[in-house]
Chain A
Amino acid sequence: NAGVTQTPKFQVLKTGQSMTLQCAQDMNHNSMYWYRQDPGMGLRLIYYSASEGTTDKGEVPNGYNVSRLNKREFSLRLESAAPSQTSVYFCASSDPGTATEAFFGQGTRLTVV
């Protein structure tokens, strides 16, 4: 049982490049989330998906797009990377119906130069 799997684990981008962060969960959870973690700022919600086919903006959505491809997969896309997007990105999933906590992936450390 892998839980939440994120790829890649590390990435270096040049300013203006694009990339997609992949996330998959095998717990049959309805809700999935993307957070970014920056020193002194905790985890901030970028986007979340309450169920397959729906997505909503979180606290810091600018510069990002998401796709809930199916129940298992939730991807985060940076169309034109900026140095301000240098961060550690975490994907998480949960099942609101059973009030379970969020389960997190191991994170993607992204550096934009």
Chain B
Amino acid sequence: AQSVTQLDSQVPVFEEAPVELRCNYSSSVSVYLFWYVQYPNQGLQLLLKYLSGSTLVKGINGFEAEFNKSQTSFHLRKPSVHISDTAEYFCAVSDRGYQKVTFGIGTKLQVIP
């Protein structure tokens, strides 16, 4: 069985400050890892994904994440946030067969002007 833990349910941060949203996972097999973003009243859209190769993954809107196998983590970072980044962010894990995707409970990022 696989699981995802997002350590912070809400993260307030001032505009133009850096942010890190934390994600840890557990799985008995090799995994794919994802970060999704959900803007109010919308569906989820992909920010970035780790499938294999380089452990530093760059995504849309200036976000990046680093896969750390020894710590089973996949933290999301952005060096300077904008008001438009206010949204809920979900970390997700799937086994390499990708038959099921397990999501974390989400982290609400609130960017303060």
On A, residues with C-beta under 8 Å from B are: 4, 31, 33, 35, 40-45, 48, 50, 58, 90, 92, 94, 96, 99, 101-102, 104-107
Q: Kindly provide the distance from the CB of A60 to the nearest chain B CB, expressed in whole angstroms.
A: 13
Residue with the greatest number of chain A CB neighbours at <10 A, chosen from B43, B99, B100, B103: B43
Question: Given the known A-B contacts A43-B103, A99-B32, A99-B51, are A104 and B9 also in contact in the complex, defined by CB atoms under 8 Å?
Answer: no
Contact B100 A101 (CB under 8 A): no
Residue B80 is within 8 A (CB to CB) of chain A in the complex:
no
Of the residues B43, B51, B90, contact of A106 by C-beta under 8 Å:
B43
Q: Write 19 A-B pairs (CB below 8 A) sorted by A numbering.
A: A31-B98, A40-B9, A42-B103, A42-B105, A43-B44, A45-B101, A48-B100, A96-B98, A99-B32, A99-B96, A99-B98, A101-B46, A102-B44, A104-B43, A104-B45, A105-B43, A106-B42, A107-B41, A107-B42
Name which of B36, B42, B90, B103 has the most chain A CB atoms within 10 A of its CB: B103
B contact residues, range: 20 to 34
B99 to chain A, nearest CB (A): 5
Are A101 and B43 in contact (CB-based, < 8 A)? Answer: no
From known contacts A43-B90, A101-B49, infer whether A58 and B43 are also in contact, taking CB-CB under 8 Å: no
Give the interface of B toward A (CB within 8 A): 6, 9, 32, 34, 36, 41-46, 49, 51, 90, 92, 96-106
Of A42, A96, A106, which is within 8 A of B99 by CB? A96
When C-beta atoms are compared, the residue in chain A nearest to B104 turns out to be A42
Nearest first, the 8 closest Cβ-Cβ pairs linking A and B are: A96-B98, A42-B105, A104-B43, A43-B103, A104-B44, A101-B46, A42-B103, A106-B43
